[in-house]
Amino acid sequence: MTKATAAQLREAILADFDELIRSVARWRRFELADVEVTMSQARCLMLVSLHPSMPISVLASHLRIGLPAASGLVDRLVDAGQVERKVDPVDRRHQLVTLTERGQAAVDRLHELPAEKLGQLLAGLSLNELQGLRLGVAAIAREAGRIADSTPAEPEPERTPA
């Protein structure tokens, strides 16, 4: 058997990740249905969780939608008790969006792989597989941090004091 090249290994790993994501999605399809948000609302909640007190104009830019559409999306999430609108103390013309406890709970459900199921996955691995996985996950986390640290932040719209 010939040794795999780095490119072939990366391709195989990506295929394995794809299969893992599909399998987890099959597990979680009923749990995700319980979250009761649309995909647009889920994207909005996730962005606000990453950028607390986000101006609606920045949210619209990140979602690549117009300001009226973003405002309507936020209105629906306010009605559902998942976000709050607050007046920007720096510029009263802007409104900031923050998650409520209910909104944070929805984000947590969207992000989590239940610990019990993750435990089931890990319990089926040998000691050698666990050691290899630990090295691999640590390396991926390191690279994700490096990329995140080198990614420039998007500029926020200019805000002037009231």
pLDDT score of 39: 83
pLDDT score of 32: 55
Q: What is the CATH number of the domain that holds 25?
A: 1.10.10.10
What is the model's pTM?
0.64
Alpha-carbon distances of 37 from 21, 44, 49, rounded to whole Å: 21, 10, 15
| E-only strand ranges, the chain | 54-55, 83-87, 95-99
pLDDT score of 38: 83
72 in any annotated domain: yes
Same domain, 35 and 90: yes
pLDDT score of 162: 46
pLDDT score of 35: 64
Average pLDDT of the residues of the chain:
85
Q: How many domains does the chain fold into?
A: 2
pLDDT score of 115: 66
50 in any annotated domain: yes
130 in any annotated domain: yes
The Cα–Cα gap between 40 and 146 comes to: 29
**Domain with 87 in it:** 6-112
In this prediction, the residues of the chain whose per-residue pLDDT falls under 50 are 162
